[in-house]
Amino acid sequence: MTDPVYVTDALIAEDIDAYLAGHEKKSLLRFITCGSVDDGKSTLIGRLLYDSKMIFEDQLAALEADSKRVGTQGQEIDFALLVDGLAAEREQGITIDVAYRFFTTEKRKFIVADTPGHEQYTRNMVTGASTADLAVILIDARKGVLTQTRRHSFLAHLIGIKHIVLAVNKMDLVGYDKTVFERILLSYRAFASEIGITNFTAIPISGFKGDNITALSDNMPWFNGPALIEHLENVEIGAAADEAKPFRLPVQWVNRPNLDFRGFSGQLASGKVRPGDAVRILPSGKTTTVDRIVTLDGDLGEAVAGQSVTLTLADEVDCSRGDVIAAADNPPEAADQFEATLVWMADEAMIPGRAYWLKLATQSVSATVQAPKYEINVNTLDHLAAKTLDLNGIGVVEISTDKPIVFEAYGDNRTLGGFILIDKLTNATVAAGMLHFSLRRAQNVHWQATDISREMRSDLKNQKPALLWFTGLSGSGKSTIANLVEKKLHRMNRHSFLLDGDNVRHGLNRDLGFTEADRIENIRRVGEVAKLMTDAGLIVITAFISPFRAEREMVRSMLPEGEFIEIFIDTPLAEAERRDVKGLYKKARAGQLKNFTGIDSPYEAPENPEIRIDTTAMTPEQAADVIIDRLLG
């Protein structure tokens, strides 16, 4: 059977330049295959590659040999092996991570991402979906709509994929029965409309046998089309739609080859720009005009959404990485509190109150997430109450950032509305997020300007403010040494204040318990209070176990450089437990105290504390002297 879709060889042989000219103008469609485990996603892609002659003879010979050795189809070709490229995938016969594959037909170029069906690897499906224009959702004709079919449909829709194809696969195994197809179509339609997918194209196929892939199959005369490839070739993608939106350019890099040139490099997220256009730099709000659009091939008269360019501006305005250059009369907002949908992608659950890095376009800020407003059950679409989000959990949350970021709703602009969260300790990408709207405009909350500055306050006290942050296990000696330090400072006429863990819990933080989330909130409040006190010019001393590195770093980042002095009271667990001044270790060992640091809750020792005190090698008195020397010396 010669296939009209791929009869290009003749043209290539006769007039290569004509072929290439045509090829260069072909549009690109990026799509994914998704659905439940074993529904045949990889097989379908293998089939598409095979049918579009993307498989060379040497690869085909290898495929035939592999199929016999590790394939799932006996002596026949297992097309999935073309795509499942990792050793672990071939051994287990499943897909673990996304594979990106490429093929071309007469009309179009395609990049297809084959995503895993396994729930455990949902994050990899989301990775593939985030850059796709279209999703082919596969269903095994024998099994019908499954949980993963729903989850993937929901995620595809959530991430904004406009075109959905429902491919009812393995029709060969149900005798190409029309009623099976129609039954599945009906039940999928009901679910789809509930999540807001109003439009999709359903095609009965067999990826394995090749039915309704490149051409309509004689095995299903009851189906009028289109065949899968025909549909993929003709679906409208509107790659240029972003050009009609207002101009936005997130600045990636400031280009300064010499003193006479200052350019701002970035990729246009939307709109168009020309020299002479009035622009506004955000979040500062300064306005200026575009002077030149500089490229290696000469200056451009216009740049459009998607292009990577370097702009120079008419005035010397402040502008650096993370800023957004936008149309002056139609700029985006800046805010520091948002509602967003989060897809949690890490094995460790989300910790409300903990600070994560948030990356949105070229902006990186510190952000905390509140406990979810609700979690979405992808099966029932119910909104569930939730304290956190676990791996693959999807929920709606409120997020606050430590400084305003420039944004748009994800639905309006993916580049300025999509973000990731990064764990500050492991550097892992833990969540993907889509912004809905800001909860209040950051512009409306002004800092109250005061006439007396923090420098003036501390000058009056004849000292430099500082925060001496003691950290260490329970019973390590924090309070004892902190107390001695304050006594010595007092004798030296220094103005200080000691914030002690136990004391604060009787007042300011008496509503907090000892769960991980509460401990984080405890430290956050103490940090804020300590910061106000340093603003007042005081030397603040705190004595809290403060077991988590991320929270200590959070407090460090609240203060001016150099004012946070981390003091690690380094007493080994065995020694602290032997001393057991308050009898707490005994209780914890007996199971009467939960979440006790060192016993059933971790202590993350500082990696680079400003001061480390080894209590097994010096007395509290000596320790206090070391600290004072370091502070005033």
Ligand X SMILES: Nc1nc2c(ncn2[C@@H]2O[C@H](COP(=O)(O)OP(=O)(O)OP(=O)(O)O)[C@@H](O)[C@H]2O)c(=O)[nH]1
Give catalytic residue positions.
546
Among 37, 111, 195, 628, binds another protein (CB under 8 A): 111
Minimum CB separation of residue 389 from another protein in Å reads: 15
The DSSP code for 119 is G
Buried b or exposed e, range 545-576, using 16+ CB within 10 angstroms: bbbbbbbbbbbbebbeeebbbbbbbbbebeeb
How far apart are the C-alpha atoms of 455 and 443, rounded to whole Å? 26
Q: Which does 25 bind (CB under 5 to 8 A by kind): another protein, ligand X, Mg ion, none?
A: another protein
Is there binding between residue 280 and another protein (CB under 8 A)?
no
Q: Which does 501 bind (CB under 5 to 8 A by kind): Mg ion, ligand X, another protein, none?
A: none
Binding mask 104-133 for ligand X (x = CB under 6 A): ------------xxx---------------
Classify residue 320 by burial, with Cβ atoms within 10 Å: 0-12, 13-18, 19+.
Answer: exposed
Minimum CB separation of residue 69 from ligand X in Å reads: 14
| 150: CB partners within 8 A, 6+ apart | 191, 378, 379
Cis peptide before 226 (omega within 30 of 0): yes
Beta pairing, strands 466-471 & 539-543: parallel
**Nearest-CA neighbor of 428 among 147, 38, 123, 196?**
123
φ/ψ of residue 131, rounded to 5: -110, 10
Is there binding between residue 97 and ligand X (CB under 6 A)?
no
Is there binding between residue 48 and another protein (CB under 8 A)?
no
Q: Which stretch binds another protein (CB under 8 A): 11-19, 389-397, 435-443, 569-577?
A: 11-19
Among 37, 73, 93, 109, binds another protein (CB under 8 A): 109
Minimum CB separation of residue 337 from another protein in Å reads: 21
Is there binding between residue 531 and Mg ion (CB under 5 A)?
no
Contact at 8 Å (CB) between 214 and 7? no
Beta pairing, strands 429-438 & 466-471: unpaired
Cis peptide before 283 (omega within 30 of 0): yes
Q: Which stretch binds ligand X (CB under 6 A): 38-46, 239-247, 409-417, 589-597?
A: 38-46
Q: Which is nearer to another protein, 16 or 460 (CB)?
A: 16
φ/ψ of residue 86, rounded to 5: -90, 145
Among 97, 133, 486, 551, binds another protein (CB under 8 A): 97
Among 94, 126, 139, 166, binds another protein (CB under 8 A): 126
The encoded tokens of residue 101 equal 């594959």
Is there binding between residue 357 and another protein (CB under 8 A)?
yes
Q: Which stretch binds ligand X (CB under 6 A): 122-130, 206-214, 422-430, 616-624?
A: 206-214
Among 34, 94, 405, 432, binds another protein (CB under 8 A): 432
The DSSP code for 601 is B
Is there binding between residue 73 and ligand X (CB under 6 A)?
yes
The encoded tokens of residue 133 equal 């224009």
What is the CB neighbour count within 10 angstroms for residue 370?
14
Q: Which residue has the tokens 């995503």?
A: 115
Q: Which stretch binds Mg ion (CB under 5 A): 40-48, 385-393, 500-508, 608-616?
A: 40-48
Is there binding between residue 283 and another protein (CB under 8 A)?
no
Among 68, 209, 359, 549, binds another protein (CB under 8 A): 359
Please identify the residue of the shown chain whose CB is closest to the bound ligand X. Answer: 117
Q: Which is nearer to ligand X, 217 or 438 (CB)?
A: 217
Minimum CB separation of residue 392 from Mg ion in Å reads: 18
Is there binding between residue 122 and Mg ion (CB under 5 A)?
no
Query: How distant, in Å, are the alpha carbons of 164, 217, 477 from that of 583?
Result: 63, 78, 14
Classify residue 430 by burial, with Cβ atoms within 10 Å: 0-12, 13-18, 19+.
Answer: buried
Is there binding between residue 16 and another protein (CB under 8 A)?
yes
Is there binding between residue 41 and Mg ion (CB under 5 A)?
yes
Minimum CB separation of residue 72 from ligand X in Å reads: 3
Contact at 8 Å (CB) between 356 and 279? no
Angle at CA of residue 371, ends 367 and 372, nearest 5°:
105
Q: Which does 296 bind (CB under 5 to 8 A by kind): another protein, Mg ion, ligand X, none?
A: another protein
The SS3 of residue 399 is strand
Q: Which does 109 bind (CB under 5 to 8 A by kind): ligand X, another protein, Mg ion, none?
A: another protein
| 11: CB partners within 8 A, 6+ apart | 18, 19
Q: Which does 486 bind (CB under 5 to 8 A by kind): ligand X, Mg ion, another protein, none?
A: none
CA-based torsion, 316, 317, 319, 325: positive or negative? negative
* Binding footprint of ligand X, residue count (CB under 6 A): 23
Contact at 8 Å (CB) between 292 and 275? yes
Is there binding between residue 283 and ligand X (CB under 6 A)?
no
Minimum CB separation of residue 1 from Mg ion in Å reads: 27
Is there binding between residue 95 and Mg ion (CB under 5 A)?
yes
How far apart are the C-alpha atoms of 116 and 114, rounded to whole Å? 7
Is there binding between residue 340 and another protein (CB under 8 A)?
no
Binding site for Mg ion (CB under 5 A): 41-42, 95
Binding site for ligand X (CB under 6 A): 37-43, 72-73, 78, 80, 94-95, 116-118, 169-170, 172-173, 206-208
